[in-house]
Homo-oligomer: A and B are copies of this chain.
Amino acid sequence: MVPQLWKRVACTALLLAFCVISDARAANDPLPSWNEGPAKTALLEFVHATTDRDSPKFVPSEERIATFDQDGTTWVSHPMYTQVIFCLERVPALVAKKPQLKNDEPFKTVLSGNWDAIGKLSMPELEKILASTLSGMTVDEFSAEVKKWLETAKHPRYQRPYTDLIYQPMLEVLRYFRENGYKTYIATGGGQDFVRVYSERVYGIPPEQVVGTMGGTKYGYDKHGRPILTKEPKLLLNDNFAGKPEGIHLMIGRRPYAAFGNSTGDRQMLEYTTEDEGLRLGMLVLHDDPVREYAYGPAEGLPDTKVGTFTQALYDEAKKKGWFVISMKNDWNRIFSFEK
């Protein structure tokens, strides 16, 4: 080989080796949608301290687990949880199959289309709707139905598919953590099988890394004798409040090093994550941006027992325990990827 050719081979091979090894380290700022401030600094310092071999807080790669709540933490949860909208929109089809439900509550209210009344349904009433619209089909049929719905359904305010309403700064955090050897999980109060349908495409998180509210399935056979799993109206685990650490243990078997949430339903997950040895990170998204998104939280004075609320007590606890409160208004220079 002539020297010139060797030189080119050397350069190409060096480049190849370099690409393979340090692809992840190429970007200058891993969090471009974050403004400089305590939250961004905390993220960068946490990842550096737990992944630098020379750091006293170094965490071996197999133990690097980070869990992310979904509704209100990685995507929009107002005016209503996306999965609840999906379930409400399934009610007419359910009633068509089971006409006896037509005059039963809460189905009657849902069919009325009176959104004020629908918005006032109690938790047990909503659970009744969820249980009846999220069961009775095979797991494959369910996935196909969610996928189809997500392709056409639009958020009432943004007039965009729900999966467009992911927070760009959180996508950057997910990617940044993964590039630093963290295994990222969704830990949601939403249905595990619902979120699994789009988690890989939207978050880069595979179905096996989605921890959510879990329903039972029943093994059986279709009319051709092929094996199927049918979704049952049986709750195995409610992945909210104390159920979050319980679900994390069930699905992962390790305590996370970092956890992200936005409401009282995430309190125990943050507590479980941060109150152990080593460097830990807890963060809560505060919705204080009515212009670009929504504003709700401590000022509303909602009770601690309502899922999805960021109460004053949670805010005070965060300050006391060193959990970072992310201000959407001040910490994020961009909220959605479709914004320029």
- Where the two chains meet, the residues of A that have a C-beta atom closer than 8 Å to any C-beta of B are 1, 3, 6-7, 9-10, 13-14, 16-17, 20-21, 62, 139, 183, 192-193, 196, 200, 206-208, 210, 214, 216-219, 226-227, 229, 236-237, 242-243, 245-246, 249-254, 268, 271-272, 275-276
Contact = CB atoms under 8 A, between A and B. Distances in A.
Contacts of A245: 219, 227, 229
Given A13-B17, A14-B9, A246-B229, A252 B219 contact: no
Cβ-closest 3 pairs across A and B: A207-B253, A3-B3, A10-B10
Given A6-B3, A10-B9, A219-B268, A253 B20 contact: no
24 contacts: A3-B3, A3-B6, A3-B7, A6-B7, A9-B10, A9-B14, A13-B14, A16-B17, A20-B20, A20-B21, A192-B250, A207-B252, A207-B253, A208-B251, A216-B246, A218-B242, A219-B242, A219-B272, A226-B276, A227-B276, A229-B246, A229-B249, A236-B236, A236-B250
Residue with the greatest number of chain B CB neighbours at <10 A, chosen from A1, A208, A216, A245: A208
B13 A250 contact: no
Contacts of A253: 192-193, 196, 207-208, 210
Contacts of A214: 250
Nearest to A140: B255
A289 B139 CA distance: 41
Contacts of A193: 253
Contacts of A254: 207-208
B10 A6 contact: yes
A276 B225 CA distance: 11
Contacts of A271: 227
Interface residue SS majority, chain A: helix
Contacts of A200: 62
Given A208-B251, A208-B254, 10 more contacts: A3-B3, A3-B6, A7-B10, A9-B14, A192-B253, A208-B208, A219-B268, A227-B272, A227-B275, A229-B245
A219 B242 CA distance: 6
Nearest to A244: B219
Contacts of A14: 9, 13
A249 B6 contact: no
A275 B20 contact: no
A268 B219 CA distance: 8
A219 B249 CA distance: 10
Nearest to A242: B219
Contact of A6 (B6, B192, B252): B6
A139 B248 CA distance: 12
Contacts of A20: 17, 20-21
Contacts of A139: 249
B275 A226 contact: yes
A242 to B, nearest CB: 4
Nearest to A65: B208
A146 to B, nearest CB: 13
A192 to B, nearest CB: 7
